[in-house]
Amino acid sequence: MKAVFAVMLLCISTLVNAQAWPSKPIRYIVPYPPGAFNDTLARIMSSELPKALGQPVLVENRPGGNTIIGTEAAVKSPPDGYTLFGAALPFSVIQSLYKLSFDVTKDFVPITLAGTTPNLLVANPNVPVNSVKELIAAAKAKPGGFNYASTGNGSSNHLSFELFKSMTGTDITHVPYKGSAPAVTDMLGGQIQLMFDNTPNVLPHVKAGKLKAIAVSSKKRSSLAPEVPTVDESGVPGYDVTVWFGILAPAGTPKEIVTRLNTEMVKIMRSPEITDRFNKAGVDVVASSSEEFSVFLKSEVARWAKVVQDANIKAD
């Protein structure tokens, strides 16, 4: 009888807390420095969510440790609805690369898959290839003769190229950088020959003739560069890397709060003004349910674990 009473009290307490929420500012942890789209998404939510919730949303950039520092800060936060976490594709890879104190699918509750964007495979103009087939042939003729840049092990551009190498049987040398900007700078200078990068980061250089576009990583062509073929249609069937951005909370966050957050976030992202902001940044709005994001995240974790194993990718 006491156990039943205790459960009833817990349910009543949870309901009361959920109904009173939010009664103080909400923090939104971003495991990246300011500037990239994960941070942009947080800024959008920090601007728009308070209009619906009546409380400030404070963005906290916690970069470092290949996103682990910010991720640990989020997972250790109380599951009370006052901590949000901005994740991107590398979130689904980190536990395949590192020994962690948390599990990305068990210690977080997904709120919404916000949006997706492809990576663009680009080359320095002096690289003597103009298509995926030409790149594969040239790389096989000269193993290790080409290099490519990434923003570090486990990043989306690193994984994009390692998957490409694995599926094509090519040997192309990895050169990690601490960010997209210095990598692109070296590409423009000719020190680096190839790179997969988020389309908005490199498309201006392609349009200016300073880089050449070879292919996009997604299954479908990008609306930003519809003339550029996909890797899949260029001779590597089944190749598909879509960079994603999502919002989560610590596991145990009351379902009522997760549902409310999802409702408000989806409404924000589907508004014409915010959809336009996404599109101008080269990102397609998804605005999924919590359940849809949960299924997607589990599939991504399993998929990238296999890529990491097959390509023998190691942590920095």
**Which pLDDT does position 313 carry in this prediction?**
78
- Mapped onto helix, strand or coil, the DSSP state of residue 218 is coil
Is 5 among the domain residues?
no
Is 106 among the domain residues?
yes
Residues 111 and 156 in one domain: no
257, 119 contact by CB (below 8 A): no
**Tens digits of residue pLDDT in 49-70:** 999 999 999 999 998 888 899 9
Half-sphere exposure of 116 (CA within 13 A, CB side): 18
Residues 90 and 140 in one domain: no
Q: Which of 213, 234, 255 is the last residue of a domain?
A: 234
Q: Is the pLDDT of residue 2 over 60?
A: no
Name 173's bridge partners: 147
118, 241 contact by CB (below 8 A): yes
Q: Is the pLDDT of residue 160 over 70?
A: yes
Give the pLDDT band (50/70/90) at residue 316: low
Q: Is the pLDDT of residue 87 over 80?
A: yes
Residues 104 and 128 in one domain: no
**Which pLDDT does position 102 carry in this prediction?**
95
Q: Which of 234, 264, 299 is the last residue of a domain?
A: 234
For residue 106, count other CB atoms closer than 10 A to its CB: 9
Number of domains in the chain: 2
Q: Which of 189, 205, 234 is the last residue of a domain?
A: 234
Name 221's bridge partners: none
What gap in Å lies between CA 77 and CA 58, rounded to an integer? 15
Give the CATH number, domain containing residue 80: 3.40.190.150
* Domain membership of residue 172 as a residue range: 118-234
77, 206 contact by CB (below 8 A): no
Greater model confidence, 271 or 153? 271
**Tens digits of residue pLDDT in 207-258:** 999 999 999 999 999 888 899 999 999 999 999 999 999 999 999 999 999 9
Q: Is the pLDDT of residue 1 over 70?
A: no
pTM for the structure as a whole: 0.84
Instruction: Provide mean pLDDT across the span 16-31.
Output: 85
**CA distances to 36, 140, 203 from 207, in Å:** 21, 29, 6
298 burial (CB, 10 Å; 0-12 / 13-18 / 19+) is middle
Mean per-residue pLDDT of the chain: 91
| % residues pLDDT > 90 (the chain) | 73
Residues 112 and 248 in one domain: yes
Give the CATH number, domain containing residue 135: 3.40.190.10
Residues 187 and 265 in one domain: no
**Which pLDDT does position 19 carry in this prediction?**
61
**Tens digits of residue pLDDT in 138-159:** 999 999 999 999 988 888 889 9
Is 172 among the domain residues?
yes
Residues 207 and 253 in one domain: no
**Which pLDDT does position 6 carry in this prediction?**
47
For tokens 């390509």, name the residue: 311
The least confident of 64-68, 109-113, 297-301 is 64-68
How many residues would you count in the chain? 316
**Tens digits of residue pLDDT in 165-190:** 989 999 999 999 877 888 999 999 99
Residues 247 and 109 in one domain: yes
Is 8 among the domain residues?
no
